[in-house]
Copies of this chain bind each other. A is one copy, B any other.
């Protein structure tokens, strides 16, 4: 095999109570990427379609992630990458993670799977370091494993895959505004009260139990965030209205995707997710916010061949 074409899923990180630890992969929202072996050593981005992103390897998340893999491999050649970008950078659904995860998954595939998934996560994290200055795993882990993932620990890296119930869908609305990642980080507090922290880990436990036991109501009750959402939502136009409308339309829960500005809702079944999408859209039409909207099943495998 000399060339593969892969689907690289968009992802939702910071799922409500699971700030910095819980993410999920989407099934029908994502980029495509063609990766082919080259005789020349190195990683070469030969084409980026759909977005204006740097072609230089060292300035591109896929390039940097690929170089990290190549460095740990005994493969004497290199790779060419074409990126067909559909996820908008800065939307909060893991644009750089899709590129990073897709690149390393495809390279590992072409080399005959020399690496574990967790090793692929560590390579893809280098792409995240380039994109956001922090080598975080909460988008690249679900992009590579599929379903939900829990980043239990970074030292050592411990990724816990959590299977999503079959009927779980996500609805995402992306308001076309720019929130600087540095602003959404600066606005966060660095300490919190024990009381609030206890609520948060009660909800993390509830969410994991709900997912693993197919208990949709428990998933819904656990989608609470007493720490980050009250602060970051200030930067997202109409957040409270969109969330309220989603819940009234039957969503299990809703929150900020990644560091925003996208807002996600989790729903039981496609019909409900579509219904929630219509309601979210209505809110943004009424207050005059340009937006994209996505409805997707949860992805059960992560990056995959097209």
Contacts and interface: CB of A to CB of B under 8 A. Distances in A.
A202 B213 CA distance: 19
A201 B199 contact: no
B17 A209 contact: no
Given A191-B191, A193-B191, A199 B153 contact: yes
Given A152-B221, A209-B150, A200 B202 contact: no
A198 interface: yes
Contact of A150 (B18, B188, B200, B202): B202
Interface residues of A, number: 40
B19 A198 contact: yes
A70 interface: no
Contacts of A191: 191-194
A151 interface: yes
A195 B151 CA distance: 13
Contact of A152 (B22, B151, B203): B203
Given A152-B218, A153-B203, A153-B206, 11 more contacts: A18-B201, A18-B205, A150-B205, A150-B206, A150-B209, A152-B222, A158-B206, A191-B193, A192-B194, A197-B200, A202-B204
